[in-house]
A and B are shown apart, each in its own frame.
Chain A
Amino acid sequence: MESTTISINKLNAFRANLSSSTLAIPAEKLSQAFDFLAANDFPTTRHEDWKYTRLARIANLKFEPQSNTISQETTKICGNSLRFVFVDGTLTEKPSTLPTGLVCKNIQECNADELQNISANSTIFECLNLAYAQTGIYLQLASKTVLDQAIEIVQINTANSFLAIRNFIDVASFSQAEIIFNYPSAEANNSFVNAVSDVFVGKNAHLKIYKIQSEKGANYHVSRENVVQEADSNFTISTSTINSHFVRNDINVQVNGQNSETNLFGSYLLKENQHVDNHTVIDHRVANCLSNELYKGVIYDKGTAVFNGKVFVRKDAQKINAFQSNANVLMSDDASVNSKPELEIYADDVKCSHGSTTGQLDEEAVFYLRARGIGEQSARNLVVSAFVNDALEKIENEEVLNYIYGVIQKDFGWEF
């Protein structure tokens, strides 16, 4: 539970002009969220989960509305995807038809029945999200439905405002889906996006999520995925954060069924004064599961990154294989990383490993490449892109991977 008291409650001030959620959220969950908000403030760095991420900048945000214009089309990532485009929370594009078994719509259109399983929450940003949620995707995939088109959800923010996005994703047993969450750069330069996704992966279901954050500008992004996995399921999420001003990601996976596989992959590329914080939790509650985590980051200039990965293995969760690794390259003396892998293991027959490395670019490698005739800048780019590519290559969807390569090429000049 987060509870901090500072003399002036910034959270109250922040909430003063927001309008409450109009979604069909169960009343008791909504009032719980409001109660929690009323009793708390933004966490400070004294709070363990926020030790290296200062929220003062968010707490002090003053939103000055600006006209909403999008100067260019957002690239469609997958040629045949089912694409939903939201601009400042308003759904502006959606597929004309959907395959049988798939319900996918603006969460505003949901009734109370559909939202009854929305998660009740216990952190500031989840409560803030629930209390003020205006938009998002509701996705329900019937059992035994295998989608051969990816679902692409684009969230564009042009207004300098607070936007609470709530997604609800339920992939039923024996189904298979691929979802892309794309937060591309937009005209906003002083916005705060708070996204929370409830994700249910049914028995023997396969779900892949690709999350791409490249918002640039002075835009703030705090998002969270609460994932529940049933038996024999397979869940993979790849988070790529490229050239974003301020990002905090929380991924929370509860593995409730045996023989499940969980993959968390991440890559983050920072420059200037950017800040990216990835917190992950994998909670192995049952036996015979595998989890795999690989996060890689490259930080230029005065960028700061945070990685905190927790893996819990509960008392009776035997035969768990859990691997976790975080590696960083600092491209300047002012760049920094706080990396903390944490394993908490209460079972005795498990195979777990974790590791964290942070270093400079291998100058010997750069010299070697230069000595073969490759220019200094391309030599650096070659070495550093190979480093991150380790994590990027886990992205199996080539169109997604190529899109990310394109964003990196544009913003960092690397070639892959």
Chain B
Amino acid sequence: MIKIKNLHASIDGKEILKGLNLEVKAGEVHAIMGPNGAGKSTLASILAGREEYEVTDGSVDFDGTDLLELSTEDRAREGLFLAFQYPVEIPGVSNVNFLRTALNEIREYKGEEQISAKDFMKMVREKSAIVELDSKLASRSVNEGFSGGEKKRNEIFQMAMLEPKLAILDETDSGLDIDALRIVANGVNTLKSDKNATIVITHYQRLLDYIVPDFVHVLYDGRIVKTGTKELALELEEKGYDWIKNEVSTNV
């Protein structure tokens, strides 16, 4: 699905990613954990195509296409989805209207027919039910006046609508109470299939009880420094990151 090789990236001349390698296959769930400032959101942003970052070395292959060559919108159209750590409020732009535009632009890109108003509304009803998002929220301005939990649920709602191949969830669990967490995790699990894949970025092992990862990676100082199974997350929760940092510095 996605193959990231030796990715180096910087912003304002400061190197953030320092040779990152990661491969995710269809049907898999990968968790990325790591201390604040390690570069987790940076990785997500670069994959989504944020232009402020400069990729200085390395490659990203997304299902056979060179991801880094594509514009942000084309990455989305190819099936990449980023659930934002901080979803943006867009006053005056209705949630469903923009989703219809998005869906149709994606369809156009793939040479498919536009979705009918009826099918679209049916889809909105079905998918908003998955994340228990009030249909009134679905038609309001994008994220405007949404609570933190509603914003995160809206991200998953959009993901459900767009049916991406690869979804990257950047701290979608942060700030959620246990009920909201269950709803979000349930949404992700419902959408999971052997044709798509998910990368969850999180600080908390708790989420991984609900979205069970096949692999857990530790991102530290711009690189994946350790990879394990879901037990690694428990260990990190218990012991923090210092032992990893020590391991890394003794290895160098």
Contact = CB atoms under 8 A, between A and B. Distances in A.
A367 interface: yes
Contacts of A379: 73
Contact of A368 (B71, B84, B99, B103): B84
A374 B98 contact: yes
Contacts of A376: 71-73
Interface residues of B, number: 31
Nearest to B51: A367
A383 B162 contact: no
Contact of A378 (B75, B82, B105): B105
A109 interface: no
Interface stretch (A129-137, A305-313, A386-394): A386-394
A371 B88 CA distance: 12
A370 B88 CA distance: 12
B181 interface: no
Contacts of B115: none
Contact of A371 (B49, B90, B103, B142): B49
A378 B101 contact: yes
Interface in B68-96: 71-73, 75-77, 81-82, 84, 87-93
A383 B93 contact: yes
Interface in B91-135: 91-93, 98-99, 101-103, 105-106, 109
Looking at B72, B84, B99, which has the most chain A CB atoms within 10 Å of its CB?
A: B72
Interface in A372-408: 372-376, 378-379, 382-383, 385-387, 389-390
Contacts of A364: 88
B48 interface: yes
A202 B174 CA distance: 59
A374 B91 contact: no
A368 B50 CA distance: 10
Interface residues of A, number: 22
B87 A368 contact: yes
B205 interface: no
Given A378-B105, A382-B98, A382-B101, A371 B72 contact: yes
A336 B103 CA distance: 36
B202 interface: no
Contacts of B76: 370-373
Nearest to B82: A371
B92 A368 contact: no
A13 interface: no
Contact of A372 (B49, B89, B162): B162
B158 interface: yes
Given A368-B87, A383-B93, 19 more contacts: A367-B88, A369-B90, A369-B102, A370-B49, A370-B72, A370-B76, A371-B72, A371-B73, A371-B75, A371-B76, A371-B81, A371-B84, A372-B99, A373-B73, A374-B102, A375-B105, A382-B98, A383-B90, A387-B92
